[in-house]
Amino acid sequence: MTRDEILGWLREEDEAKLEELWARADAVRKEIVGDEVHLRGLIEISNYCVRQCGYCGLRADNKLTRYRMQREEIIACAQEAASYGYGTVVMQSGEEYGITTDWIAGIIREIKSLTPLAITLSLGERPDSDLECWKEAGADRYLLRFETSDPELYKLIHPDVACILSDRVRILKKLKALKYETGSGVMIGIPGQTYDVLANDIMLFTELDLDMIGVGPYISHPSTPLGKGEWTRMVDPSEQVPATELMAYKVVALTRIMCPEANIPSTSALATLNKAKGREFGLQRGANVVMPNMTPRKYRSLYEIYPSKACIDETAEECRSCMRGRIFSIGRTVGAGQGGRIRRGK
Ligand code: 5AD
Ligand code: FES
């Protein structure tokens, strides 16, 4: 598919035409990654953050109760994930250096010695030496969304801190060189995001040959500069991408068609916009992964990246049975094993 065709689909509103897009994405998904839906247990290990992202509720300036999980709590969550048959745990946090290099390395080693899990990290823009150390300790995968391919919009929504230039694309290339399975993605409908920029985002997914691609709608958080409308970039209203559920499905579907082998989650942000059917629609329009939340309940509501997040009041066990039910309800199967990227050899 060409960039112009992508642009055409992003602007398409005819429901019958869109059915064609869903069907095409679903057929590619079925042929290339099959009917299995892989479960990744998400552990939100800390909500401290040094960054000032204009969209995110965890930004350093936001007043909220901060927590960092204990090592033993994290390991217990990982063991629980393994007992549920999940193939992967994802340890995610704000970017925070109270999480030390060695502390994470020790936890990685312990989880690896106790379980057959793949370990995915999502800990922000850490120095290369951390990424090297954690790979050596046994980490398998790393998630770092580039959020937008437009340098000017990126600078606006994701300011540099401590005068260190934020260059996520460079880090993604480094992760690939270190042999991490590498994941990235964007938010859809960020104020100031145009159709052109979003088409470029999808082109960049293919260019980077990503193993995992997470996309979800932007959800306005009232205590952030973007949510309050304090940080803005003027764009022609006809060029602004809407932060809708429909647009998110379009991007999931186009991502599957452009990056057929990628593992693509049906994200929590999508489930937040449509609590009844968002996950299922994502899975039927290109996605093949879900990330059930394993974070202990007492911490969940504190990891408020955006408001009304799905799964805030549920337990790990509840999310497990909820996800399984959703997967079976659409005639799909639960993936076995680690569910890494399978290259089909071109
Ligand atoms: N709405 C939607 N997604 C968000 N994220 C952060 N803040 C928001 C928001 N307000 C996404 C970012 C980040 C991921 C962990 O969550 O893309 O990389
Ligand atoms: Fe958590 Fe459905 S996955 S409640």
In the predicted structure, residue 32 carries a pLDDT above the cut 60: yes
Instruction: Please tell me if the CB atom of residue 167 comes closer than 6 angstroms to any atom of ligand 2.
Output: no
Q: What pairing do the DSSP bridges indicate for beta strands 289-290 and 141-143?
A: unpaired
Q: Which ligand is nearest to the CA of 276?
A: 2
Q: How confident is the model at residue 344 (pLDDT cuts 50, 70, 90)?
A: confident
In the predicted structure, residue 79 carries a pLDDT above the cut 70: yes
Q: Please name the residue whose Cα sits nearest to atom 1 of ligand 2.
A: 319
CATH number, domain with residue 147: 3.20.20.70
Q: Give the mean model confidence (pLDDT) for residues 179-207.
A: 98
pTM of the model: 0.97
Domain that residue 48 falls in: 3-330
Q: Please name the residue whose Cα sits nearest to atom 13 of ligand 1.
A: 145
Total domains, the chain = 1
- Ligand 1 geometric centre to CA of 346 (Å): 33
Instruction: Please tell me if the CB atom of residue 91 comes closer than 6 angstroms to any atom of ligand 1.
Output: no
Q: Give the mean model confidence (pLDDT) for residues 134-151.
A: 98
Candidates 107, 104, 38, 49; CA nearest to 77 is 107
pLDDT per position as a tens digit, 148-191: 999 999 999 999 987 778 999 999 999 999 999 999 999 999 99
Which 8-state DSSP code applies to residue 66?
-
Q: How confident is the model at residue 201 (pLDDT cuts 50, 70, 90)?
A: very high
The set of residues, in sequence order, having a beta carbon less than 8 Å from that of 156 and lying 6+ positions away, is 54, 192, 231, 233
In the predicted structure, residue 35 carries a pLDDT above the cut 90: yes
Looking at every residue in the chain, the average pLDDT score rounds to 97
Instruction: Please tell me if the CB atom of residue 294 comes closer than 6 angstroms to any atom of ligand 2.
Output: no
Confirm whether 131 is domain-assigned.
yes
- Locate all alpha helices (DSSP H) within the chain, ordered by sequence: 3-11, 15-32, 71-83, 101-114, 128-137, 151-157, 168-177, 195-208, 245-258, 268-273, 278-284, 297-300, 316-329
| Nearest-atom index, ligand 1, CA of 227 | 10
Q: How confident is the model at residue 22 (pLDDT cuts 50, 70, 90)?
A: very high
Instruction: Please tell me if the CB atom of residue 221 comes closer than 6 angstroms to any atom of ligand 1.
Output: yes
Q: Please tell me the distance from the alpha carbon of residue 196 to that of residue 291, in angstroms, as a whole number.
A: 30
| Nearest-atom index, ligand 2, CA of 292 | 3
Q: Are 89 and 117 in contact (CB under 8 A)?
A: yes
Instruction: Please tell me if the CB atom of residue 323 comes closer than 6 angstroms to any atom of ligand 2.
Output: yes
- Locate all alpha helices (DSSP H) within 209-336, ordered by sequence: 245-258, 268-273, 278-284, 297-300, 316-329
Which 8-state DSSP code applies to residue 242?
P
Candidates 228, 201, 204; CA nearest to 61 is 228
Confirm whether 177 is domain-assigned.
yes
- Rg of the chain on CA atoms, in Å: 19
Which 8-state DSSP code applies to residue 239?
G
Q: Give the mean model confidence (pLDDT) for residues 24-51.
A: 98
Instruction: Please tell me if the CB atom of residue 188 comes closer than 6 angstroms to any atom of ligand 1.
Output: no
Confirm whether 337 is domain-assigned.
no
Number of H helices, E strands in the chain: 13, 8
Candidates 107, 112, 117, 110; CA nearest to 86 is 117
Predicted pLDDT at 316: 96
Instruction: Please tell me if the CB atom of residue 214 comes closer than 6 angstroms to any atom of ligand 2.
Output: no
Confirm whether 153 is domain-assigned.
yes
Q: Which ligand is nearest to the CA of 279?
A: 2
Please, which residues bridge with residue 89 across strands?
A: 41, 119
In the predicted structure, residue 346 carries a pLDDT above the cut 60: no
Confirm whether 295 is domain-assigned.
yes
Predicted pLDDT at 162: 78
- Ligand 2 geometric centre to CA of 326 (Å): 9
- Ligand 1 geometric centre to CA of 345 (Å): 33
- Ligand 2 geometric centre to CA of 148 (Å): 28
Confirm whether 341 is domain-assigned.
no
- Ligand 1 geometric centre to CA of 47 (Å): 13
Q: Please name the residue whose Cα sits nearest to atom 16 of ligand 1.
A: 305
Confirm whether 148 is domain-assigned.
yes
Confirm whether 52 is domain-assigned.
yes
- Ligand 2 geometric centre to CA of 82 (Å): 18
Q: Please tell me the distance from the alpha carbon of residue 287 to that of residue 100, in angstroms, as a whole number.
A: 33
Predicted pLDDT at 264: 98
